[in-house]
DNA sequence: CGAACAATTGATCCTCATCAAACCTTGTGG
DNA sequence: CCACAAGGTTTGATGAGGATCAATTGTTCG
């Protein structure tokens, strides 16, 4: 597969990179395609590469000692992931990256990013901003998990996922479509697929969403926002 | 209050800073002392300053819409906090910082840190490493909250707090003392003070801890680790 | 000593997880 | 094109883990 370096500008961290830097990254990169359900890397692997997702969608997850999974983040095209390894020495990935669809990513050696960062302030700044947004999002989600009831957490999760990986569907009104199983949603909101199923069924009755197999369509975003803020009932 | 610039080396981010940089930071800084229970800043305030805690202990917390609190992090001497504002434009603090004891901190303008970072790679690297460790810790805690039972969460919380802010007490064996209320522990582990009280009472019966008013002494760290890993029973 | 606040303890209840079974949907191979 | 398998989803019944509430009992400090 060929890659146009200019495409890399769509990656937030590279948004203001000079052309020649982009070329270097592309030259250094290896394009890797994997099937749905396969893995880019596992939690605990040496973090030798960071990735830029070119096509498809993926999720970052952690597994507990008992085998339960938690979804930390969903990744969509032109997002960078697995980059924490470029910061620490001898780092291992703190999470596992699994494809939700057939996906393609550009893999670049972490050490090369580290090298590039040494004399390119824009890389430092952009990467720090990205890290800041992670920290803020994780803090928020942590608070939600600690203080909110399931229904609100699921609403918040769906809205967040819609903003991050949702695809606008034309047709009846403004709808956002998410190619996710109940299990995926459960792992992203800290509950079980059973509860997600019940909540979605209830929302469907109320006309807020349309739920299908591995699919959630948001029909009434405003209604979901109300639930997420506890303004309904 | 006078400050020796060299003391700032105890701050992780400044560990390898040249003497003259430390002097600049100290000159630019304002020393602020507050009483127990008072605040360095509130969630939502414009993040004009970042802080270095010189004396005392503090906690970073978030408040939910319903007024419930969550403890994100406890801060001890020579830790930096409130620094995310130096990365984003027009940032506001994503959390509130409250003193757990009478505390003193050095407050320095975020814009000054930002300025210094522009041509001091060590600041970028160190700050990124700090941010990386936050992200990893928050991801871990998020997973714990989503998958672990309360008792294990409380054990993990106590052990983490011990490592972060615990003070070694001599006397009967190796013990670690934490000046925290049940409420504090509850807010750090995502439960209620009632449950924390019951769990600590149980542990005390089993000789693992000694619990007093605003105080938890760990008598048997190994036992707590076993509980945190589910190896007991 | 008394006020203020932290901690305990018991009783109760509710939200959700768990388990089991059946039901759909999609893709595949004959 | 149908039948079947595989895996996602739904639904009900049940119960447990903690939250909540109320009342009491420490503890500390002015």
Exposed/middle/buried for residue B216 (C-beta within 10 Å: 0-12, 13-18, 19+) = buried
**Rounded CA–C1' distance between B210 and C7, in angstroms:** 14
- Nucleic acid strand D within 7 Å of A220 CB: no
Q: What DSSP character marks residue A181?
A: -
Phi, psi of A68 (to 5 degrees): -75, 150
Q: How many domains does chain A have?
A: 2
List the single residue in A84, A139, A190 with the smallest CB-CB distance to B146. Answer: A190
Q: Are both A105 and A169 inside the same structural domain?
A: no
- Quick check: A176 pLDDT over 90? no
CATH code for the domain in which residue A169 is found:
1.10.10.10
Q: Are both B116 and B161 inside the same structural domain?
A: no
Which residues, listed in sequence order, are joined to residue B99 by a DSSP beta bridge? B58
B170–chain A nearest CA distance, Å: 34
Q: Are both A180 and A209 inside the same structural domain?
A: yes
Mean pLDDT calculated for residue range B143-158? 96
Q: Are both B124 and B55 inside the same structural domain?
A: yes
Inform me whether the C-beta atom of residue A44 falls under 8 Å from chain B C-beta atoms.
no
Residue A233, in any domain of the structure: no
The reported pLDDT for the residue numbered A172 is 54
Q: Find tokens 């006078």 and name the residue.
A: B2
Contact (CB<8Å) A131/B136: no
Residue B233, in any domain of the structure: no
B122–chain A nearest CA distance, Å: 10
The reported pLDDT for the residue numbered B171 is 57
Domain boundary among A145, A166, A196: A145
Q: Largest Cα–Cα distance in chain B?
A: 57
Q: Are both A45 and A33 inside the same structural domain?
A: yes
Contact (CB<8Å) B87/A129: yes
A39 in Cβ contact with A23 (< 8 Å): no
Distance separating alpha carbons of residues A115 and A113, to the nearest angstrom:
5
Q: Are both A132 and A177 inside the same structural domain?
A: no
| Cα distances (Å, whole numbers) of residue A199 to A203, A225, B200 | 6, 15, 36
- Nucleic acid strand D within 7 Å of B201 CB: no
**Rounded CA–C1' distance between B149 and D16, in angstroms:** 12
**Rounded CA–C1' distance between B177 and C8, in angstroms:** 21
The reported pLDDT for the residue numbered A171 is 58
- Point out the nucleotide closest to B68 (alpha carbon to C1′): D19
Distance separating alpha carbons of residues B142 and B149, to the nearest angstrom:
13
Q: Are both A127 and A180 inside the same structural domain?
A: no
Residue A80, in any domain of the structure: yes
Contacts 24+ apart (CB under 8 A), A191-197: A191/A150, A191/A153, A191/A154, A195/A150, A195/A154, A196/A154
Q: Considering only CB atoms, which chain A residues are within 8 Å of B190?
A: 145-146
> Which residues 6+ apart lie within 8 Å of B96 measured at CB?
B39, B41, B42, B43, B60, B61, B62, B63
Q: Are both A48 and A140 inside the same structural domain?
A: yes
Domain boundary among B107, B127, B145: B145
The pLDDT tens digits for A67-83 are: 889 999 999 999 999 99
The reported pLDDT for the residue numbered B85 is 85
The reported pLDDT for the residue numbered B213 is 93
Instruction: Kindly give the pairing relationship between strand A215-218 and strand A209-212.
Output: antiparallel
Could you give the percent of chain A with pLDDT greater than 90?
80
On strand D, nucleotides with any atom < 7 Å from a protein CB are: 8-13, 17-22, 26-28
List the single residue in B70, B131, B136 with the smallest CB-CB distance to A128. Answer: B131
B43–chain A nearest CA distance, Å: 12
Beta strands in B26-125 (DSSP E): 30-34, 39-41, 49-55, 58-63, 69-75, 80-81, 96-99, 103-109
Look up the domain containing B110 and give its range: 5-145
- Quick check: A2 pLDDT over 80? no
CATH code for the domain in which residue A57 is found:
2.60.120.10
Q: Are both B120 and B63 inside the same structural domain?
A: yes
Which of A172-176, A211-215, B29-33, B43-47 is predicted least confidently? A172-176
Q: Are both A70 and A119 inside the same structural domain?
A: yes
Instruction: State pTM to two decimals.
Output: 0.94
Q: Considering only CB atoms, which chain A residues are within 8 Å of B147?
A: 64, 66, 68, 70
Residue B28, in any domain of the structure: yes
Q: Are both A16 and A131 inside the same structural domain?
A: yes
Residues 113-142, chain B: which have Cβ within 8 Å of A? Answer: 117-118, 121, 124-125, 127-129, 131-132, 134-136, 138-142
């Amino acid at each position: 597969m060929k890659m146009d370096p200019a495409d890399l500008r769509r990656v937030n961290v590279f948004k203001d990179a000079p052309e020649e830097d982009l070329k270097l990254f592309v030259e250094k990169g290896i394009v890797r395609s994997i099937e749905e359900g396969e893995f880019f890397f596992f939690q605990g692997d040496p973090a030798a590469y960071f990735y830029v997702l070119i096509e498809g969608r993926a999720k970052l997850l952690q597994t507990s000692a008992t085998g339960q999974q938690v979804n930390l983040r969903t990744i969509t095209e032109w997002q960078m992931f697995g980059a924490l390894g470029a910061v620490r020495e001898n780092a291992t990935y703190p999470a596992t990256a699994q494809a939700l669809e057939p996906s393609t990513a550009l893999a670049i050696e972490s050490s090369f990013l580290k090298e590039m960062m040494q004399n390119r302030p824009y890389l430092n700044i952009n990467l720090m901003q990205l890290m800041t947004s992670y920290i803020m999002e994780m803090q928020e989600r942590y608070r939600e998990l600690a203080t909110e009831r399931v229904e609100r957490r699921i609403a918040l999760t769906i809205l967040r996922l819609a903003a991050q990986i949702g695809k606008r569907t034309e047709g009846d009104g403004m709808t956002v479509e998410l190619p996710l199983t109940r299990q995926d949603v459960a792992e992203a909101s800290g509950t079980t697929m059973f509860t997600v199923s019940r909540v979605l069924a209830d929302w469907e009755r109320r006309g807020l969403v349309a739920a299908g197999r591995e699919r959630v369509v948001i029909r009434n975003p405003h209604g979901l926002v109300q639930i997420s803020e506890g303004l309904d009932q």
